[in-house]
Amino acid sequence: MKIEAAGAILPRFIKRSVPSSPPRSRCKCRERNLLLLVLGTFALICFGTIFYLPDLGEGLWRLERLKRVQKRVGDVGGDLLLPVPPPARGRPGAAEDRRRLYSKAQEAAVPASGGSVAPVPPDPLHPVISGGEDPDPVMRFRRRKIKEMMRHAWKGYVTYAWGEDELRPVSRRGRSAGIFGRQAMGATIVDALDTLLIMGLEEEFSEARLWVKQKLDLAHVTSEVSVFEVNIRYVGGLLACFALTGDALFRDKAEETARALLPAFDTPTGIPYAMVVPATGRAKNYGWASMGGSILSEFGTLHMEFSYLSDVTGQPVFREKVHRVRDQLARMDTPGGLFPNYLHPVTGDWGQHHTSVGALGDSFYEYLLKEWLRSGGDDRQALRMFQLAMGNITDRLVKTSDQSGLTFVAEMHRERLSYKMDHLACFIGGLYALAAAKDPEADTDRYLELGRQITATCHESYDRTATKLGPESFRFTDQVEARPLLQQEKYYILRPEVIESYFVLWRLTGDPKYRDWGWQAAQAIEQFCRVEAGFSGIKDVDSLWPEHDDVQQSFFLAETLKYLYLLFSDSELLSLDQWVFNTEAHPLPIRGANQLYRQTDVG
């Protein structure tokens, strides 16, 4: 009974008889199934894993794809990082702390869609000369717009005026005359070189460099050129490119160009003449200058370029020339503590007693402070003269308007004040702020406040016009303030000085209003100065339909667009702790603070 019951429950098997084969027991069949199960599982594990392994046959393709992804996202990732912190003063190990902090910030940054982190620089103090996008997307948008404006200005010049000094964007032709002589000398090419480089316009920079290599030869120019203009635009521009790239071509061309100017210094006092014919060495002053005098802002604006040129070439002659100029000025008595704008190069006597920080005087004061900075603090004579000159200007020429309390810098004519300020003088707001930050003996609070107030006044000169562009000069009377009175004061020729002060004040204070003011100016330039072939000055800032002057000044590419681009960039791009800008906005390295100084032993 038990057997039958069990048989009813257990499954029935049909057995086949295999001749000459012994009968198989149920136990062996069960072992076989177990073995097959183990083998099947093993095979599944081994062969199934293959589907999850990398395709070795496509390894190189995958690696290349990864590199392409990294390249695409690299531009965005840098925006996720905070800028390198400013140097901590007076604390040991600060540089190492900054390096670790910067590395940690990069490691912690999470790439956005299509984003990555920028590579860690080998040294957090290494000069930054490219990139520099601000983390703020609004600033990145503004900066891209300025770059597009630069492309438009450059394209018009290349298309219609290549090799000429400047472009006439309305009539679409070149312009070569006046301060650069009667021969085409490519002033726009040389002036724009470092702006192209800083903006990352590599193809445009390469074509400009090729022109410099093949065509730039000032020594054979047979017409009169301005010593001052050639120095700040050509020598300064070439030296800036040498500092930024290390390309000896730029240093050698700067030396050739400066040598062509040396005959202008052959005077009894060492004060150079204003103009020289490079091919013959003949030099003279302008006929309209007071008593045949040389101009303060011209012979006083050579020191930075000539001294740096001596440092990088090992040729002391350039420094010797400008030191003689400085020594002559340091020995002279100044009427009322103010430097007149004219000095006769033969007699050593002052001309007409006219003092201003605008036309005829401006960059002399700028170079006293900036040459002290560029020298790494070695040129103490420059600092002492700056402190004396600016102290007297502050006490005697800085005034406040009666209506709105606007601060401005007046002019002095034979002890009589003229309540007029040139657009050129608007650089002084940035200079006061720079002195407050850098001069250890300056009245920091007072100078910084003066810098803010004067820059605000210059902004008013823009904001009170119909076009929102500033006039060539503006006045302060009982009826008007920060407004032009004469028709010849109403033109705007793409000048940079107001934007320059916005840039300096932004870098030194971090106040965002300076960026907003700069953007307002950029929009006004785009609206009223842009034409199909470039950008042109206008003849009346108070007209909503102004007539164009048909000149795209070379300094528009060298200064105005560069300062706007830097205004909307991260502050580490061309840091003011490592670079100092000449009066044409060409950056020169600060000795002892900048690894790109590239000094050569002086022979």
Annotated catalytic residues are 472
What whole-number distance in Å separates Cα of residue 120 and Cα of residue 97? 14
Q: Report residue 410 as tokens.
A: 């007046």
What whole-number distance in Å separates Cα of residue 298 and Cα of residue 312? 23
- Yes or no: say if 158 and 561 are a contact pair by the CB < 8 Å rule: no
- Going edge to edge, which strands form the sheet with 283-284? 225-226, 275-276, 283-284
Q: Report residue 213 as tokens.
A: 């290599």
Only one residue has tokens 């010593």, namely 227
Q: Reduced to 3 states, what is the DSSP secondary structure of residue 569?
A: strand
Relative to beta strand 283-284, strand 294-295 is: unpaired
Conformation bin of residue 53: beta by default, left when phi > 0, alpha when psi is -120 to 50: beta
| Amino acid (one-letter) located at 441 | E
| Amino acid (one-letter) located at 373 | L
Q: Which H helix or E strand runs over 64?
A: helix 59-77
- Gyration radius from the chain CA atoms: 35
- Yes or no: say if 165 and 175 are a contact pair by the CB < 8 Å rule: yes
What whole-number distance in Å separates Cα of residue 115 and Cα of residue 71? 9
What whole-number distance in Å separates Cα of residue 266 and Cα of residue 268? 7
What whole-number distance in Å separates Cα of residue 475 and Cα of residue 419? 6
What whole-number distance in Å separates Cα of residue 431 and Cα of residue 419? 20
- Yes or no: say if 126 and 575 are a contact pair by the CB < 8 Å rule: no
